Structure 1
């Protein structure tokens, strides 16, 4: 598995669920599009689901936090026997 990425080095794509490390909290969240051309950090409101389009969640709770690191969610195994 790859290393955690510093947010000061690279930000995750908009609206793509990732693991976030913010202070002493690690959870799933994203840089959420807030529909005016800007974005905010948000924690996932639902369990992430993976389908042919990739990972998604039903929405994000936007919050005033600044994560230090992020990590992509793993690729599921798929149809393995």
Structure 2
């Protein structure tokens, strides 16, 4: 028996094992995708959005612009 003939069953077994593992991983991922997402109440969503707004940093303000009050034309 040649050395190449001995390698063929090992390579075929390894290829089959990787295919089986890959297909089971795909099956698990699709099952996880199809699960129902828990519903969030409006109150909780509102509280979360308020927290996000208050925790944001205030915008950077430029120096105030001095303007003359409107008056009669010179």
**What's the TM-score once normalised by structure 1's chain length?**
0.14
**What's the TM-score once normalised by structure 2's chain length?**
0.15
Name the one with the larger helix percent.
Answer: 2
Name the one with the larger strand percent.
Answer: 1
